[in-house]
Structure 1
Amino acid sequence: MTHDDTIVALATPSGAGAIAVIRLSGSDSIRFVERQFRSVSGKELSKQATHTIHLGHIVDENRTIDEVLVSVFKDPNSYTGENVVEVSCHGSNYIQQEIIQLFLRKGCRMATAGEFTLRAFLNGKLDLSQAEAVADLISSDNEASHQIAMQQMRGGFSSEIAKLREELLNFASLIELELDFAEEDVEFADRTQFKALTERITFVLKRLIDSFAVGNVIKNGIPVAIVGEPNVGKSTLLNALLNEERAIVSEIAGTTRDTIEDEISIGGIGFRFIDTAGIRETQDVIEGLGIQKTFEKIEQAQVVVYLFEADVMAQDADKSRNVQIELEKIKNKYPLKPLLIVANKIDKLSEDAKSKLNRVLEDIENAQFVLLSAKEGIGVELLKDTLLGFVNTGALKNNDTIVTNSRHYDSLLKAFEDIDKVKHGLESGLSGDLLAIDIRQALYHFGEITGQVTNDELLGNIFANFCIGK
Structure 2
Amino acid sequence: MILNDTIVALATAPGSGAIAVIRVSGPEAIQITSPVFKAKNKVSLENQKSHTLQLGNIVDGERIIDESLVSVFKGTRSYTGENTVEISCHGSPFIQQEIINLLLCQGCRSAQPGEFTLRAFLNGKMDLSQAEAVADLIASDNAASHQLAMQQMRGGFASEIQKLREELLNFASLIELELDFSEEDVEFADRKQFQDLIFKIQKVLNKLIDSFAVGNVLKNGIPVAIVGEPNVGKSTLLNALLNEERAIVSDIAGTTRDTIEDEISIGGVGFRFIDTAGIRETTDTIEGLGIKKTFQKIEQAQVVMYLFDSSKIKNEKLSLTQVKTEVEKIKNRFPGKPLLIVANKRDILTEEEQDSFKQQIPELNLISAKENDKVEELQEKLLGFVNTGALKSNDAIVTNSRHYDALLKAQEEINKVQEGLNIGLTGDLLAIDIRQALYYFGEITGQITTDDLLGNIFANFCIGK
Aligned to 1:292: 292
Are the structure 2 counterparts of residues 261 and 296 from structure 1 closer, same or farther at C-alpha, using a change threshold of 3 Å?
A: same
Alignment equivalent of 1:382, drawn from 377, 380, 405:
377
**Percent of aligned pairs with the same residue?**
71
Amino acid at match of 1:251: D
- For the Cα contact (< 8 Å) 1:134–1:153, is it kept in 2? yes
Q: Secondary structure at the match of 1:262?
A: strand
Report how far residue 42 of structure 1 moved: 0.4
Amino acid at match of 1:34: S
- C-alpha separation in 2, matches of 1:292 and 1:406: 29
- C-alpha separation in 2, matches of 1:288 and 1:454: 49
Deviates most, 104-113 or 324-333 = 324-333
- C-alpha separation in 2, matches of 1:315 and 1:166: 71
Aligned to 2:113: 113
Q: Deviations over 1:367-394 (max 9, x none)?
A: x432111111111111111111111111
- C-alpha separation in 2, matches of 1:198 and 1:316: 64
Structure 1: gaps (5+ residues):
363-367
- C-alpha separation in 1, matches of 2:318 and 2:229: 14
Q: Secondary structure at the match of 1:156?
A: coil
Q: Deviations over 1:96-143 (max 9, x none)?
A: 111000111111101011000000011000110000000000001111
Q: Secondary structure at the match of 2:3?
A: coil
- C-alpha separation in 2, matches of 1:318 and 1:165: 62
- For the Cα contact (< 8 Å) 1:17–1:91, is it kept in 2? yes
- For the Cα contact (< 8 Å) 1:314–1:320, is it kept in 2? no
- C-alpha separation in 2, matches of 1:382 and 1:164: 44
Deviates most, 426-435 or 325-334 = 325-334
Deviates most, 282-291 or 76-85 = 282-291
- C-alpha separation in 1, matches of 2:241 and 2:60: 54
- For the Cα contact (< 8 Å) 2:257–2:290, is it kept in 1? yes
Q: Secondary structure at the match of 2:419?
A: helix
- C-alpha separation in 2, matches of 1:313 and 1:201: 57
- C-alpha separation in 1, matches of 2:320 and 2:384: 27
Matches within 5 A, 1:141-220: 141-220=141-220
Amino acid at match of 2:122: L
Equivalenced residue count is: 465
Report how far residue 315 of structure 1 moved: 5.9
Aligned to 1:126: 126
Q: Deviations over 1:316-369 (max 9, x none)?
A: 38532322221111111111211110111111111111111001112xxxxx43
Q: Deviations over 1:159-202 (max 9, x none)?
A: 11111101111111111111111111111111111111101100
Aligned to 1:395: 390
Q: Secondary structure at the match of 1:232?
A: coil
- C-alpha separation in 2, matches of 1:277 and 1:412: 39
Q: Secondary structure at the match of 2:55?
A: strand
Amino acid at match of 2:127: D
- C-alpha separation in 2, matches of 1:451 and 1:445: 10
Matches within 5 A, 1:180-329: 180-313=180-313, 316=316, 318-329=318-329
Amino acid at match of 1:308: F
Report how far residue 310 of structure 1 moved: 2.4
- C-alpha separation in 1, matches of 2:265 and 2:90: 34
Q: Secondary structure at the match of 2:22?
A: strand
TM-score, normalised to structure 1, is 0.97
Matches within 5 A, 1:311-390: 311-313=311-313, 316=316, 318-362=318-362, 368-390=363-385
- For the Cα contact (< 8 Å) 2:156–2:397, is it kept in 1? no
RMSD between aligned alpha carbons? 1.1
- For the Cα contact (< 8 Å) 1:258–1:277, is it kept in 2? yes
- For the Cα contact (< 8 Å) 1:37–1:57, is it kept in 2? yes
Q: Secondary structure at the match of 2:54?
A: strand
Q: Secondary structure at the match of 2:462?
A: coil
Is 1:450 aligned to 2:445, yes or no? yes
- C-alpha separation in 2, matches of 1:39 and 1:62: 14
Report how far residue 466 of structure 1 moved: 0.5
Q: Deviations over 1:67-100 (max 9, x none)?
A: 0000011111100000100001111111111100
- For the Cα contact (< 8 Å) 1:9–1:24, is it kept in 2? yes
- C-alpha separation in 2, matches of 1:95 and 1:121: 31
Aligned to 2:425: 430
- For the Cα contact (< 8 Å) 1:314–1:356, is it kept in 2? no
Q: Deviations over 1:381-414 (max 9, x none)?
A: 1111111111111100110011011110010000
- C-alpha separation in 1, matches of 2:135 and 2:345: 44
- C-alpha separation in 1, matches of 2:263 and 2:66: 41
Amino acid at match of 2:393: N
- C-alpha separation in 2, matches of 1:413 and 1:321: 45
- For the Cα contact (< 8 Å) 1:314–1:357, is it kept in 2? no
List structure 1 segments (4+ residues) > 6 angstroms apart after TM superposition: none
- C-alpha separation in 2, matches of 1:313 and 1:330: 20
Aligned to 1:29: 29
Deviates most, 233-242 or 290-299 = 290-299
Deviates most, 115-124 or 314-323 = 314-323
Q: Secondary structure at the match of 2:23?
A: strand
Q: Deviations over 1:193-240 (max 9, x none)?
A: 111110110010010011111111011111111011111111110010
- C-alpha separation in 2, matches of 1:258 and 1:322: 25
Deviates most, 402-411 or 376-385 = 376-385
Are the structure 2 counterparts of residues 317 and 97 from structure 1 closer, same or farther at C-alpha, using a change threshold of 3 Å?
A: closer
